[in-house]
Structure 1
Amino acid sequence: MTRKRVAILISGRGSNMSALIEATRAPDYPAEIVGVLSNRAAAPGLATAASHGIATASLAQSKFPTRDMFEDVMTQTLESWDVDIVCLAGFMRILGADFVNNWAGRMINIHPSLLPLYKGLHTHERALADGATTHGCTVHFVTPGLDEGAAILQAEVPVLPSDTPDTLADRVLGQEHRIYPQALRLLASGQITSLV
């Protein structure tokens, strides 16, 4: 079995990255993590990845005159790792259309809501403010439109009367860690392809 080569883009601790790394340790998993790239040098997830023997890189967008130049260097880094699939795991940057289109059908993201509900930020606060009774997370293909790509997998959690944004986020995160490795398995094994 030839395993697909995967890079993960992070901005922070990388808890979804850790879930993906753990999943790829199974001998029958169709993907391997070959690199982790962060737009923040201080992202704790970089040390986690390095401790697993995974190549790491950090690029600060502020050091580049334009977003295109920043993304060109990101592409060069990913290509140097010979990457097949890119997974966004808390990467807190909006990516440009050229970069996204270059990875069309090969880049996926985990978002903390049941898309198409609550695109963008502060999803848990917004769900609570709306009086939602269910909430959850979505793994989806990345397209130039924010959180608009086709969904691969979703998981629901009930919203409890006692919930705060933090308690709701914790329960959703548990589901993120469960479905993200499943979604990557589906893509890497060729069981799903992008609808773009």
Structure 2
Amino acid sequence: MDAVLMIDMQQGYFSDPDLEEQRPALVDACSRLVRGALDAGALVVEVVTVHEHDRSTWARNMLEDDKPFLLRGSEEAARLPGLPEVGPPNGVVLEKTRDSAFHRTDLVDLLHERGIDRLLLCGISTESCIGATALDAYSHDFETVLVADAIASPSQDSHVRTLDHLGRSYRQPGVGVADVLPTLTGA
């Protein structure tokens, strides 16, 4: 069975002009994938990065620079408008504090409980949160597909290099939304 992981589609990331330029196409592609997954009865996990005001969840660079990002309740932590709502029974929102959606979360348990064996990743950014999650998915023995036209990066070069590396080294193919929609499986 499949799960779509939609990663970090939040306002704060799109303050980067290069990502903002890609935003309409990315929201459209992620929306089509999420709707298709929900229609097929597949699990959709909306992964969001959220940090606490008390600094307890801040990453090393945030602490060293004394520069908070994606604080709980802030506008920058808010999800992008235009995305389909994700909720029960086949949708879950998962909070993370580091690049990988697996780091100190219950994602592995959730996926095993639902009988998931294939992950389809979409969202941002290719070389950071998508890449880290893809590598951890490999470490946990999940088949992983990178939905390339539903993934973006501030750097096109980094985007292409990361997708190529994950495809060659970890057998995580990059495919398009239109190619993956007919293959979605659910409960």
TM-score bracket for the superposition, by shorter chain length: 0.3 to 0.5
Richer in helix (by share): 2
* Larger Cα-atom Rg: 1
Structure with greater contact order relative to length (CA < 8 Å, sep ≥ 6): 2
